[in-house]
Amino acid sequence: MSKGKLFISFILITFGALYIFGFTSVLNVIVDGNYQLEEQNIIEKNGEHYLLLDGYELSLSRDFYMKIELDKTNEYKIKYAYNRLNNKNGEIVMLKKYGEQPWGK
């Protein structure tokens, strides 16, 4: 294969990869808001915890699950991400008690 054809092939593959990456990146959505949680918002399936918000089933890491203390407060600031292609699934990327400061109480 000549150097010219190899270079053109490299350029086409690079643009194709960038196009696919850009297309999937555009479909990623991040939502940030304040939510009042209740027991029915938290479910467990196969040993994993999920949070039901805005019609989405969002995976909840163990650390975030341990932060939820509904007996003390039910207001939380939550940020979650999902991909429009993956209809109703996403993940919690930030969870803290409403009004909690990053440097502590």
Phi, psi of 101 (to 5 degrees): -90, 150
CA distances from 97 to 41, 94, 101 (A): 16, 10, 9
Phi, psi of 103 (to 5 degrees): -95, 5
- pLDDT per residue over 33-66, tens digit each? 999 999 999 999 998 999 999 888 899 999 999 9
Return the pLDDT at 85: 77
Is this prediction's pTM over 0.85?
A: no
Q: What is the C-alpha to C-alpha distance for residues 104 and 86, in angstroms, rounded to an integer?
A: 36
Give percent of the chain above pLDDT 70.
90
Q: Which of 69, 80, 77 is nearest to 39 (CA)?
A: 69
